[in-house]
Amino acid sequence: MRAGVLTKRGSEDIAALEVKEIITAKHIETKPRMALFDADLADLLKLAYLGQSFSKVFVVLDSFSASTIDEIKEHARTCDVSPWITEKTLFYTEAIRDGHHEFSSQHLFEDLGKIIRERTQAVVATKDHEVLFLSIVVDDACVLGIDITKADLGKRDYRIFPNQQSLSPLIAYAMLRWAGFDEEKTLVDCFMKSGEIIIEAALFALGKSPHFYRKDKFQFLKMPQFQQIDFVKMTEKADGQMKDSKIDVSGYDSNMRNVKAAQKNAKIAGVQKSLWMSRVDVSWLELKQKENAVDCIVTQLPMYTVHADHDKIAKIHDEFFYQAEFVLKKKGVIVVACRTEDGVEDKAEKYKFKPEWKKEVFQGQEKILVWKFGK
């Protein structure tokens, strides 16, 4: 069976990697914001429960390229929905569109809903639907399918005390994987804000599901096609494989409000005992970490804004790379995100860090630049 996951634009490689690690998926391919693969129904439940890099898991009914809404509608008229939607099915439609198109998501949502209703005589139900017919259009890549999760898996229950400048947990996780972080490596986040990077690191290192406390919220629990799969037994097995090993993950921030928020979020996530969090200015990093002791520094640099003191931000960036040069191991890596590239590579080069790559990821429509540096 063909299936897929939806992720952030720019992190498709990490979504594909995680799918391969969690299940025995075959024929994995990436498309803009998606990773598609072959898997069975039980695999999809495991992905939905354990995955950290994607916001949706879905069954693929049709995958194609299209530039107009008429082309998409034609595929909706011919794709086989019979295993999922019949005359008695309570269904609803969902449309996700990303890119420049001559039609809106609302237009697509309405037209595809009408087509499926006319084809199957199924009943539209806005709230208590059993099946969610999903359309994803990213640039000219299109997928029609069945959303088995409904809720946005990227929205973490622990984010009760967010910072408006914080990264999405999906991007935070991708940065950790780009850095090569695992449970045996030392990790530092120098500007942790509300703690997404270190919390995602702890969940990954300990093998703990980001949905550990919301097992009863998945859409597939209402779907007849999944009733023969013992989801409770599957989650119990996954939870039983969690590690109790000690990890070395530290988060620092100069703002005490951010430290308190991160501590509270980590407690909600159930990983606070595995993390070290404290109020530390980046200029004090060498007092908190030993020389050449850190494997990975993963962080989001303070950003230049209209109201920010640009000279002050530039000095913070400079101090960050100065401190990183002291604490990072010879083969250590830095993965940093910043919303602008003003002087980042120059500051890194000043302290002899070499850029391995730079890429763009998107948080909604906002572009975020990510660099990987090595010594």
Q: Residues of the chain with pLDDT > 90: what percent?
A: 90
How confident is the model over 160-185, as pLDDT tens digits?
999 989 999 999 999 999 999 999 99
pLDDT (average), residues 332-341: 94
pLDDT tens per residue across span 346-374 = 999 999 999 999 999 999 899 999 999 99
Q: Which residues contact 309 (CB under 8 A, 6 or more apart)?
A: none
Domain extents for the chain? Answer: 2-147, 169-207+243-374
Q: Give the tens place of pLDDT for each residue, 119-148.
A: 999 999 988 899 999 999 999 999 999 999
Angle at 77 between CA 364 and CA 130, to 5 degrees: 65
Topology of the domain covering 169-207+243-374: Rossmann fold (3.40.50)
CB atoms within 10 A of CB 292: 14
Is residue 306 scored above 70 in pLDDT?
no
Please provide the DSSP assignment of 174-194 as one string.
HHHHHTT--TTS-EEESS-TT
Mean pLDDT value of segment 211-226: 90
Average pLDDT score over the chain:
95
Residue 36 has pLDDT above 70, yes or no: yes
* Residue 308 in this model has a pLDDT that exceeds 90: no
7, 8, 9, 14: CA torsion to nearest 10: -60
Alpha carbon distance 336, 257 (integer Å): 22
- The CA-atom distances, in angstroms, between 128 and each of 17, 124, 236 are 34, 10, 27
The answer to whether the beta carbons of residues 191 and 282 sit under 8 Å apart is yes
Fold of 2-147: VC0802-like (3.30.2130)
* Residue 243: both structure tokens together: 């590690």
Domains 2-147 and 169-207+243-374 share a fold: no
Scanning the structure block, which residue is given the tokens 């780009």?
178
pLDDT over threshold 70, residue 327: yes
Q: Is the pLDDT score of 304 beyond 90?
A: no
Which pLDDT score is estimated for 196? 98
The residue with tokens 């998409």 is 72
C-alpha span between 45 and 218 (Å, rounded) = 9
